[in-house]
Amino acid sequence: MDWENARFNMVEQQIRTWNVLDQAVLNLLFQVKREEFVPAAHRELALVDMEIPLGGGAFMWQPKMEARAVQQVALKPTDRVLEIGTGSGYLAALMGKLAKHVYSVEINPAFAADARARLAKAGVHNVTVEEGDAAQGWSKHAPYDVIVATGSYPTEPAFLFEQLAEGGRLFAVVGEEPAMTAKLFTKQNGQVKVVPQFETVIAALANAPQPERFAF
């Protein structure tokens, strides 16, 4: 397979057309080889516009969503990042190339081990993959300049705001099927503003806090 031609087509046909125009982000997609982070059984689908199953009900996001999330959080070389849900490790690798350090927390020990190996092979050494449940945050290294949740929350995860540094950004998908919205939350002067980004549907984050349900 001609990976470089396929990668060029992915960037030009999928990524750019989804309003990902930040050249630093586009360059990353050529530097970090997505096929090296995809389970072997699905490797030939690595650059296709689709979610890729990781097992256990978990999926890699579509390439365009990964790129859009990285663009929207506007990473800086001084940023400390929390990723909630490591998955394959690919999104952590992208963010690690732009940020100072990424703390990625994965609830599935097998995923965590595989991600560490892939990151090491890719030469990404500023990502720390830790095992645990970070659905309600990960205070161990807080505060963070950026938080990215790779699974959805049923309602806005306000409990994460206290782990954001001043000027911090949180990218999260909020809602329940069939209606979810990717949102960017920004903390300024102790207040948090939210800007909706796009409609989507992704798998729920394991153990995401649930709203109270009214019984009639």
pLDDT tens digits for range 36-89: 999 999 999 999 999 999 999 999 999 999 999 999 999 999 999 999 999 999
Sign of the CA dihedral 38, 90, 117, 152?
Answer: negative
Ranges of beta strands (E only) in 144-202 are 144-149, 164-176, 179-188, 191-200
pTM: 0.96
| Exposure letters 63-72 (e unless 16+ CB within 10 A, then b) | bbbbbbbbbb
pLDDT at residue 211, rounded to an integer: 85
3 state SS of 48: coil
pLDDT at residue 216, rounded to an integer: 58
Q: Please determine, for residue 215, whether its predicted confidence score (pLDDT) is greater than 70.
A: no
Domain range annotation of the chain: 3-200
Peptide bond into 39 cis (omega under 30): no
118 phi, psi to nearest 5 deg:
-65, -40
| Direct distance between the N- and C-terminal alpha carbons of the chain, in angstroms, rounded to an integer | 57
The CATH class for the domain spanning 3-200 reads: alpha beta
Mean predicted confidence (pLDDT) in 102-109: 98
Q: Judge contact between 54 and 88, C-beta under 8 A.
A: yes
State the pLDDT confidence band at 212, using cuts at 50, 70 and 90: confident
